[in-house]
Homo-oligomer: A and B are copies of this chain.
Amino acid sequence: MDTATPAYDALCARHLRLHRLGHLQAIAGWDRAAWMPPKGSEARAAALAELAALLHGLRTDAALGELIARAHDEPLSDLQRANLREMRRDWRLATALPSALVQRRELATARCEHAWRTQRPANDWAGFVANFREVLAVAREEATLLAEATGLSRYDALMDRFEPGMTSAVVDRLFGELRQWLPGLIQRVRERQAGERVRVPRGPFPLEAQRRLCERVMRRLGFDFDAGRLDVSTHPFCGGVPEDVRITTRFRDDDFLGSLMGTIHETGHARYEQNLPREWLGQPVAWARSMAIHESQSLAFEMQLAVHPGFVPWLAQALAETFGAQDAFAPDNLQRLLTRVEPGRIRVDADELTYPAHVIVRYEIERPLIEGEIEADDIPALWDAKMAELLGIDTRGDFRDGPLQDVHWPEGLFGYFPCYTLGAMYAAQWFAAMRRERPDLDARIAAGDLQPVFDWLQRHVWSQASFWPTDELARRASGEALNPAHYRAHLEARYLG
């Protein structure tokens, strides 16, 4: 068929193919985490590596570069031009790294991550750092090549993979401000909460009941069970494909809050994926915008909505119906429980208020690490100093629940951490914009009507996918690019209000 945009059309056909093959990668990856028995591991790894090599070959095919150049001069609509922008970005990222380096990275991170699984419980920093040096060396090389391809600094080039358009200059400013007021706020909230009595729910909480509760809450939050599932994995995540979103959680019978809040968090990710525009699917413009925007959805659900004083009574009722009545399930007690602030060593267990301190610690270490300003051996001392400064915690000698606690560094995932807190900032900004648009928003939520929230997110975030660059997405959604004032206002209102 002759069209006025033959190069663009050829690109779309290639991306549709990538989308379809990527579907199998996503499902097999999910299955590996959720269902695969141990002896299937080696064959699955070989199968996924074969597909990854195939996809890499398709994404780096030289013909793509020529097609992108030719498509640039074709008469494209705005949507097509946005799609071409994302295709170019994907092509640049894919071709920036030679296969030899990609293979070296695979080897280094696989070895480091595998050993880390036992080194972490053994508190073995020395053993870890022996492998980690090679991970770091590869990441620096990667950063250098990506920096050359993008014109960004080395750390920024890594971060750009997850958060296109974000730079460390901006993060430095945002986190610099944050670290000024956060420790003081934590301190004030801690003093205020010191006199509070919080009743802790008594278990055990049968796993089957927890699962029913999670599914009920997911339904309440609009998860489409005809287009997705909830299952169990060691590390909860949101996987699958937009047409079939697979979220996972993990259950412990002495605690239900972990699985419940984790499930709500993943439900936010899932609704973003389930509501990406169907008519664009298969093309890069249909991808979720960025990891910070993705986190803004999970945190909009977990922190803005589920902990909202207008929503907590519904949750309290659901808990009583699931596990039987307890004093601890009284709405005001549950509200206190969900907003309890307690500095701790573990990021994934942190409350809303101390969580960003964990992110800042990691950012302030990994940025200079990638830029070559510090070395791997400098990490523990920096960790201890920053944890003391930001959270008042003494972490000396504890590597296990210190710099060894996250899988990101062993896996070479540098530049991801900032997205968590950027996402929390965006989430607060979205809710501030919603309230300006609908002054009755909080009353609606308290009346059990969550539709205004879903409608707003659908209109301004989900349906937009990657059509706009992130700053433009934020401006169109909320009238301004990322503005951390909303985050501060949200935290102060919730914890001091």
Q: Is the CB of B241 within 8 A of A37?
A: no
Q: Is the CB of A44 within 8 A of B31?
A: no
Per-residue B-contact encoding for A31-59, CB less than 8 Å = 1, 0 else = 10001111110111011111100100000
Chain B residues positioned under 8 Å from A37 (CB to CB):
225-229, 244
CA–CA, A228 and B25, complex, Å: 20
Chain B residues positioned under 8 Å from A243 (CB to CB):
39-40, 42-44
**CB within 8 Å for A47 and B23 given contacts A40-B227, A42-B243, A227-B40:** yes
Q: Does A24 contact B (CB under 8 A)?
A: yes
Chain B residues positioned under 8 Å from A229 (CB to CB):
35, 37
Whose C-beta in chain B lies nearest to the C-beta of A24? B24
Q: Does A27 contact B (CB under 8 A)?
A: yes
Whose C-beta in chain B lies nearest to the C-beta of A40? B244
CA–CA, A419 and B232, complex, Å: 39
One complex includes copies of this chain to the number of 2
Q: Which listed residue (B17, B47, B244) contacts A21, Cβ 8 A? A: B47
CA–CA, A49 and B50, complex, Å: 18
Q: Is the CB of B27 within 8 A of A224?
A: no
Which among A40, A44, A50 has the highest number of chain B CB atoms within 10 Å? A40
Q: Does A494 contact B (CB under 8 A)?
A: no
Q: Is the CB of B241 within 8 A of A38?
A: no
Chain B residues positioned under 8 Å from A225 (CB to CB):
37
CA–CA, A40 and B46, complex, Å: 26
Q: Does A28 contact B (CB under 8 A)?
A: yes
CA–CA, A17 and B241, complex, Å: 25
Q: Is the CB of B24 within 8 A of A244?
A: no
Chain B residues positioned under 8 Å from A216 (CB to CB):
none
Q: Is the CB of A28 within 8 A of B35?
A: no
Q: Does A20 contact B (CB under 8 A)?
A: yes
**CB within 8 Å for A20 and B39 given contacts A27-B27, A28-B27:** no
Chain B residues positioned under 8 Å from A23 (CB to CB):
28, 43-44, 46-47
Q: Is the CB of B47 within 8 A of A244?
A: no
Q: Is the CB of B24 within 8 A of A241?
A: no
Q: Which listed residue (B17, B42, B224, B244) contacts A50, Cβ 8 A? A: B17
CA–CA, A399 and B457, complex, Å: 52
Whose C-beta in chain B lies nearest to the C-beta of A228? B37
Q: Which listed residue (B31, B43, B244) contacts A43, Cβ 8 A? A: B244
CA–CA, A241 and B281, complex, Å: 30
Whose C-beta in chain B lies nearest to the C-beta of A35? B229
Whose C-beta in chain B lies nearest to the C-beta of A43? B243
Q: Is the CB of A21 within 8 A of B51?
A: yes
Chain B residues positioned under 8 Å from A40 (CB to CB):
227-228, 241, 243-244
Whose C-beta in chain B lies nearest to the C-beta of A42? B243
Smallest CB–CB gap between A20 and chain B, Å? Answer: 4
CA–CA, A44 and B44, complex, Å: 19
Chain B residues positioned under 8 Å from A54 (CB to CB):
21, 54
CA–CA, A477 and B243, complex, Å: 49
CA–CA, A51 and B241, complex, Å: 16
Q: Is the CB of A24 within 8 A of B51?
A: yes
Smallest CB–CB gap between A93 and chain B, Å? Answer: 23
Chain B residues positioned under 8 Å from A24 (CB to CB):
24-25, 28, 47-48, 51
**CB within 8 Å for A244 and B44 given contacts A21-B51, A50-B20, A227-B39:** yes
Smallest CB–CB gap between A207 and chain B, Å? Answer: 13
Q: In A85-99, which residues have CB < 8 Å from any B CB?
A: none
CA–CA, A39 and B48, complex, Å: 25
Per-residue B-contact encoding for A3-24, CB less than 8 Å = 1, 0 else = 0000000000000010011011
Chain B residues positioned under 8 Å from A35 (CB to CB):
229
CA–CA, A31 and B44, complex, Å: 15
CA–CA, A40 and B44, complex, Å: 22
Per-residue B-contact encoding for A103-121, CB less than 8 Å = 1, 0 else = 0000000000000000000
Listed from nearest, the 8 A-B pairs whose CB atoms lie closest are A40-B244, A23-B47, A43-B243, A39-B227, A20-B50, A20-B47, A24-B24, A39-B226
Give 7 new A-B contacts, CB below 8 A, not counting A20-B51, A37-B229: A20-B50, A23-B43, A24-B28, A39-B226, A39-B244, A40-B244, A42-B243
